[in-house]
């Protein structure tokens, strides 16, 4: 049975609570759900029910298309002046022995390593340190673009921008303009965590506030540029904090239209100050993706980072609203592995990503950062591909 028929069955099912049916009807009519309905879905939405609603929206927007890109990360440092309680990545200045601080030259050497690789994006993000300032990042972006003009520079979050602009005594609008002129092309979604101060003050007290995070994205969008947004879920927040978070993003998106993708990030509890907080289950991960897809009606894409939630959960998520599983990575990021993710050396070849998507009957589409289609791998047969076959078992008489 297709998803449209499944949704119709839900709407007509007299045994379901009225609120379940009303929300399903809204989804069918492409109507926005309210804050209270979002909280209701978290409190009462069963996985199968949410899956039908989210899948309906996903397929209406993208059919079976599932996006990925070929990218690598550049992480200038894992030392940080901040002390976010959930962070497994940062080594405070006193733990400097466990940290790294790349020079400009070292970073450019990493970029040059990919000169003969068909990557389309460099994703730059790391800790916050005083020497990585406006001048440094401007010079870095300019040098990367000069070396390889077609490589898309997706870099830094409002956490870094707020810090470096404040230090340089420039406002957000002027700062983002400077970054654009230097070569910045889009912003990743990090640093959002949970916006609500009741939670943010406990887990990420000193870095930029929710309003500052949103203001920096707004300035960036005003320049005609695109960015992503994340939400760190599954720790001490309550369901209404998640909906509040999504609501703030939805409102800014109504205003600017500059966001491309919403990325729920699962809290992992290893090697950080919140290791006593249990992680949520895979079921909750899938419910969360589905509710995000239903709630964020004005976001085109919902992404699952396969490196953070595992390849198998990423496959499952494609039936719960997700249409993007991020990139090939080439083991260039430590952010997920240091937090205890299953993938300790995250890297997938294009063939592996494409096959992962095909195994669950979706279409693997390589995209660039701005979602222009580069290649549809649905019918591509890779040279060394092993065809599915039946194996004979020994017969015991």
Binding residues, as ranges, are 80, 84, 86-87, 193
Q: Answer yes or no: are the C-beta atoms of 70 and 120 closer than 8 Å.
A: yes
Interface positions, 275-304, toward ligand SF4 (CB under 6 A): none
Give the up-direction half-sphere exposure of residue 66: CA atoms within 13 A in the CB hemisphere. 31
CB of 49 to ligand SF4, least distance (A): 34
CB of 318 to ligand SF4, least distance (A): 28
DSSP bridge partners of 231: 264
Residue 128 lies near ligand SF4 (rule: CB under 6 A): yes
Residue 80 lies near ligand SF4 (rule: CB under 6 A): yes
Residue 184 lies near ligand SF4 (rule: CB under 6 A): no
Distances (CA, A) of 127 to 84, 93, 230, 244: 11, 11, 17, 27
List 24, 41, 50, 84, residue binding ligand SF4 (CB under 6 A): 84
Residue 72 lies near ligand SF4 (rule: CB under 6 A): no
CB of 85 to ligand SF4, least distance (A): 9
Q: Which is nearer to ligand SF4, 151 or 338 (CB)?
A: 338
Annotate each residue in 136-165 with x if it binds ligand SF4 (CB under 6 A) or - if it does not, as one string: -----------------------x------
Torsions phi, psi for 104 (to 5 deg): -55, -45
Q: Answer yes or no: are the C-beta atoms of 381 and 358 closer than 8 Å.
A: no
Residue 87 lies near ligand SF4 (rule: CB under 6 A): yes
Residue 216 lies near ligand SF4 (rule: CB under 6 A): no
Residue 90 lies near ligand SF4 (rule: CB under 6 A): yes
User: Which of these, 88, 98, 91, 126, lies nearest to 110 by C-alpha position?
Assistant: 126
CB of 82 to ligand SF4, least distance (A): 4
Q: Which residues contact 328 (CB under 8 A, 6 or more apart)?
A: 68, 69, 70, 71, 72, 119, 347, 348, 349, 350, 353
Q: Which is nearer to ligand SF4, 68 or 213 (CB)?
A: 213
Q: Which is nearer to ligand SF4, 42 or 163 (CB)?
A: 163
Residue 274 lies near ligand SF4 (rule: CB under 6 A): no
Binding piece for ligand SF4, criterion CB under 6 A, among 14-22, 83-91, 301-309, 321-329: 83-91
Q: Which two tokens stand for residue 279?
A: 């992680």
Q: Which two tokens stand for residue 7?
A: 């949704």
CB of 66 to ligand SF4, least distance (A): 29
Measured distance between the N- and C-terminal CA atoms of the chain, rounded to whole angstroms: 41
Q: What is the residue-wise DSSP string for 11-75?
A: HH-TTS-HHHHHHHHHHHTTPPPPHHHHHHHHHH--HHHHHHHHHHHHHHHHTTEEEEE-EEEE-
CB of 90 to ligand SF4, least distance (A): 4
Annotated binding site for [4Fe-4S] cluster: 80, 84, 87
Distances (CA, A) of 222 to 52, 162, 202, 218, 255: 36, 17, 31, 6, 10
The owner of tokens 């990925």 is 68
Residue 54 lies near ligand SF4 (rule: CB under 6 A): no
Residues that bind ligand SF4 (CB under 6 A): 80, 82-84, 87, 89-90, 127-128, 159, 207
């Amino acid at each position: 049975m297709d998803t449209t028929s499944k949704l119709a069955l839900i709407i007509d099912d007299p045994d379901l609570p009225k609120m379940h049916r009303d929300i399903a009807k809204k989804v069918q009519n492409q109507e926005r759900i309210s804050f209270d309905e979002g909280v209701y879905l978290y409190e009462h939405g069963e996985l199968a029910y949410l899956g039908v609603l989210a899948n309906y929206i996903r397929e209406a927007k993208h059919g079976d298309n599932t996006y990925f890109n070929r990218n690598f990360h550049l992480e200038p440092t894992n030392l940080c002046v901040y002390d976010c309680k959930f962070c497994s990545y940062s080594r405070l200045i006193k733990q400097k022995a466990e940290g790294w601080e790349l020079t400009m030259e070292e970073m450019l050497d990493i970029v040059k390593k990919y000169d003969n690789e068909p990557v389309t994006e460099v994703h730059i993000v790391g800790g916050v340190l005083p020497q990585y300032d406006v001048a440094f990042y401007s010079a870095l972006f300019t040098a990367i673009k000069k070396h390889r003009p077609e490589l898309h520079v997706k870099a830094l979050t409002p956490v870094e921008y707020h810090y470096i602009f404040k230090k340089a005594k420039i406002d957000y609008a002027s700062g983002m303009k400077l970054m654009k002129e230097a070569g910045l092309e889009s912003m990743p979604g990090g640093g959002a965590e949970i916006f609500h101060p009741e939670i943010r003050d406990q887990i990420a007290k000193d870095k930029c506030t929710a309003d500052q995070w949103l203001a920096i994205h707004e300035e960036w969008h005003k320049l005609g540029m695109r960015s992503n947004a994340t939400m760190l879920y599954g720790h001490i927040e309550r369901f209404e904090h998640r909906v509040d978070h999504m609501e703030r993003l939805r409102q800014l998106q109504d205003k600017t239209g500059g966001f491309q993708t919403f990325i729920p990030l699962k809290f992992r509890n290893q090697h950080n100050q919140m290791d006593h907080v249990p992680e949520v289950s895979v079921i909750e991960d899938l419910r969360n993706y589905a509710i995000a897809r239903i709630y964020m009606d004005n976001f085109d894409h919902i992404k699952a980072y396969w490196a953070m939630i595992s390849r198998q959960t990423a496959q499952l998520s494609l039936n719960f609203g997700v249409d993007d599983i991020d990139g090939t990575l080439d083991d260039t990021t430590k952010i997920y592995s240091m937090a205890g993710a299953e993938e300790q050396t995250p890297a997938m070849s294009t063939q592996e990503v494409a096959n992962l998507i095909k195994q669950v009957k979706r279409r693997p589409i390589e995209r660039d950062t701005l979602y222009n289609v580069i290649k549809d791998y649905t019918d591509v047969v890779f040279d060394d591909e092993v065809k599915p076959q039946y194996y004979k078992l020994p017969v015991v008489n």
